[in-house]
Amino acid sequence: MSVAIIILILTLTSLIPIYANIHGAGKICDELGRRSLSTRPHSVSISEFGAVGDGKTLNTIAFQNAVFYLMSFADKGGAQLYVPPGKWLTGSFSLTSHLTLFIENGAVIVASQDPAHWEGVDPLPSYGRGIDLPGKRYKSLINGNMLHDVVVTGDNGTIDGQGLVWWDRLTSHSLKHSRPHLIEFISSENIIVSNLTFLNAPSYTIHSIYSSHVHIHKILAHSSPESPYTIGIVPDSSYNVCIQNSTINVGYDAIALKSGWDEYGIAYSRPTVNVHIRNVYLRGAYGSSISFGSEMSGGISNIVVDNGHIHNSLSGIAFRTTKGRGSYMKEIDISNIDMSRIGTAIVANGSFGSHPDDKYDANALPLVSHIRLNNISGVNIGVAGKLFGIQESPFSSLVLSNVSLSMNSGSTDSWQCDYVYGSSESVIPEPCPELRRDEDAYSRASV
């Protein structure tokens, strides 16, 4: 029996339980949304600690002192740090547990552009040598490590990363360490980020890593379409995450799910699981509006995406990996997506991304399977799909249903496929033969 026939049999017989485990992920936003914002019995203003909101005075010490003071209220119901209207220039500072950072309407936390105001820290263990370049990374502007019950919110206040200087350093190869993010939570739980505007992140806007019960909603994240490798929200080796009711317009990926890089991510073995994304408006100018990977060596599974509007992006939905990543991307359900002005609507690429060093195992083959895309519509689409798996580990159980994509005038090659297997129902334009294997697979998968 040929390898292709064996793969086909395994694909079709595995479609029946394809979505048995993802229904819980589709309830994450409702569950996290039922949590009320903690009422803090104590509140102080950043101005009480000598901060000056003139956009020129550096307020890093004021923020650090304020948080240090509020630590004493952690066992007394927690506390709120209030940021009034003004422009509050600062370097990186850390939060504490049982804290609400409230940024008032008209208040802007402005990130310093001087690297001396950003602490250098070791790279994350699941990424090994570092992201932009080997070695240390700059600590995120607002960060927390091993925290519980933290809220970063406001009345549509703003956090401005002033990322242009960092983008220039990246493209000119003059960075000393990997770029910082705007907000990062490490090994933390019960986190809420809401009702804020984020501008010009140096790299990621919001990064949750090794964290759980993270609720991100009603935010606007924006950076220039030309900003290199800026990413909006990154759930990374995290679980029970909700992203909803938000608008993200950035230079690369709007939302990117990750879980570690090659041998470092495999060794750390922390997956991203149980993520619910809904009611989002996304643009990833030179990347994807929603991406999975390419750093996915801890695994990605049980993901539900529903009700998304995707526009002006190089690609709409992308699954990225390569030899050496190992692990899996599976049990992913994406539905009710509207696309407009997209280069390639659906991408699955088994040869995407670089390696941190030469220590990776080229025989660590990723598994990509059990993915459904349902009720997808699009206009002004360049290519419907570019789906290229790995010869030694083809992508399998890819189910397309009710997909209608209106191609740009002059588009002649709507689908490109290799080393992928699955099924389709009601797909326009007609998909490649590898996705027309079984007309009844979708109905069985839905039982």
Domain count of the fold of the chain: 2
Q: Residue range 52-62: average pLDDT?
A: 98
- 190 and 291 assigned to the same domain: no
Q: Which domain holds residue 333?
A: 1-36+253-447
Strands 239-250 and 272-284: parallel
Q: Residue range 58-68: average pLDDT?
A: 98
With respect to residue 240, please indicate whether it lies within any of the assigned structural domains.
no
- 160 and 110 assigned to the same domain: yes
Confidence band (pLDDT; 50, 70, 90) for 278? very high
Distances (CA, A) of 34 to 31, 183, 214, 215, 218: 5, 24, 13, 11, 15
Instruction: Give me the CATH number covering residue 163.
Output: 2.160.20.10
With respect to residue 237, please indicate whether it lies within any of the assigned structural domains.
no
Amino acid at 278: R
pLDDT score of 20 more than 70: no
**Which residues are CB-neighbours of 247 under 8 A, at least 6 positions away?**
219, 220, 221, 280, 281, 282
- 189 and 305 assigned to the same domain: no
The 10s digit of each residue's pLDDT in 214-241 is 999 999 999 999 999 999 999 999 999 9
- 168 and 190 assigned to the same domain: yes
Which of 204, 224, 244 finishes a domain? 224
Rounding to the nearest 10 degrees, give the CA dihedral for residues 157, 204, 237, 215. 20
- 306 and 432 assigned to the same domain: yes
Residue 197, class by beta-carbon neighbours within 10 Å (0-12 exposed, 13-18 middle, 19+ buried)?
middle
With respect to residue 407, please indicate whether it lies within any of the assigned structural domains.
yes
| pTM for this entry | 0.93
* 3 state DSSP class of 335: strand
Q: Hey, which residues does 260 pair with through a beta bridge?
A: 296
The 10s digit of each residue's pLDDT in 143-162 is 999 999 999 999 999 999 99
- 361 and 417 assigned to the same domain: yes
The 10s digit of each residue's pLDDT in 367-416 is 999 999 999 999 999 999 999 999 999 999 999 999 999 998 776 679 99
With respect to residue 374, please indicate whether it lies within any of the assigned structural domains.
yes
With respect to residue 238, please indicate whether it lies within any of the assigned structural domains.
no
- 219 and 285 assigned to the same domain: no
**Which residues are CB-neighbours of 254 under 8 A, at least 6 positions away?**
231, 232, 233, 248, 280, 282, 283, 284, 287, 288, 289, 290, 313
- 109 and 67 assigned to the same domain: yes
pLDDT score of 13 more than 70: no
* 3 state DSSP class of 113: coil
| Geometric angle at alpha carbon 395, from 311 and 262, rounded to 5° | 85
- 344 and 441 assigned to the same domain: yes
The 10s digit of each residue's pLDDT in 166-210 is 999 999 999 999 999 999 999 999 999 999 999 999 999 999 999
pLDDT score of 10 more than 60: no
